[in-house]
Amino acid sequence: MVDASGLEESRKRNLFFLRCGLFSIVSTALLFPAWYDPFLQQLWSFLKNRSLYNSSMWESFLTMFSYIIYEIFYTLLAINPKEPCTRIDRRPGESVDVRNHTEVSGTSHLHRNGTVYIPSPRGRLREAIIYAAPVIFLDLIMVKKFVGVSKEDIIRSGGYSLSSTNSSMDSVTRLEIQQTWKVPTLHNFSWSSPVQLVRALPEAPPTSRQIVIGVIGALVLYDFFFYVPHIAMHRFSLLWHFHKPHHKHAEIHVQVTNQYVRLSLTERLTLLASANIALHAMSAHPLTRTIFVPIFLYLLVENHCGLDLPYGYHRLLPSGWAAGPEEHAEHHRKGNVNFQPYRE
């Protein structure tokens, strides 16, 4: 049997190798992007020829699929946690009003001797519909615009005609699409093109350097963009009404991340809008966005898992760079600390 000191040494050694691997990938992607070009060219060629990837709803599908996988994984960990993976917060049978710092009974998520409750298929279907409906609706009515795509392709994908005499597209809309690609534009609704089903994609893939800078930059910007409204939701009673369900639980667990009774529609859209604004600010390529989504969801879900993870992202990064599940659990307990999503 390995003693506690031996397990600790093994953990440190594994963390060292994981950090070396992560550092090697990031550093070579930044310094030697030509090494990754052949792979990225083949990957982009493959994706561009897939109808699902060309769909305007691709990122919504990817978001839902990633979340489902992560939730199942962390729920299984929470049901039967074993050393060195342990629960951070054990408060079965009660929750805390984080604005008044008072305990509220009867809102525990726990049952069957402390295991995480798994909602019925009907409940999860309702949750999926509530989550998916607004984002898919936006996918269908908004023109997708990416750097590297010709303005003509964007115009066509939006259901507009390139003809200057076409009355369906006034000069203001044409100017928005042609000169300011980041300005939101509604799809041109018509019998021949009622909604946007296909998005226009760039011909060339991004470099590995662009991917790394885009993903890291978007995560940093998201951390700031959501930090501000998050504080506001705790400070102002009117906004607290939308955020309060997210704190109505006993022991924090993974399903708190997005469960429809825990995360209001307003807050969910704020979260997604913050991520999208961050990606647009970085002029992210669609492939960069595809890589960003599962990383973003991983960080978000792990922060709410309520588990002390020996190889969590906060331990992989240098000390002081990231917060992690323990600090976010403290935010859910106290409500007046650790408002930032990821950073220390």
State residue 89's pLDDT score.
Answer: 60
Q: At residue 35, what is the residue type?
A: W
The pLDDT value recorded for residue 321 is: 82
Locate the domains of the chain by residue range.
32-88+116-334
The 10s digit of each residue's pLDDT in 230-274 is 888 888 888 888 887 777 766 677 777 776 556 677 777 788 888
What pLDDT was estimated at residue 42?
A: 97
DSSP, collapsed to helix, strand or coil, labels residue 230 as helix
Per-residue model confidence (pLDDT) at position 175? 43
76-125: pLDDT as tens digits: 787 766 666 677 765 544 444 445 444 444 444 443 334 455 566 666 67
- Would you call 226 helix, strand, or coil by DSSP? helix
Cβ atoms of 263 and 246 within 8 Å: the answer is yes
How much is the pLDDT for 25? Answer: 95
Q: Which residues of the chain have pLDDT under 70?
A: 1-4, 80-85, 89-124, 163-182, 249-251, 259-263, 343-344
What count of other Cβ atoms lies within 10 Å of the Cβ of residue 265?
13
**What confidence score (pLDDT) does residue 117 get?**
58
Q: Do residues 304 and 257 make contact, with C-beta atoms less than 8 angstroms apart?
A: yes
**What is the per-residue pLDDT for 184?**
77
How confident is the model at residue 121, as a pLDDT? 61
* Residue reference for tokens 């000069």: 171
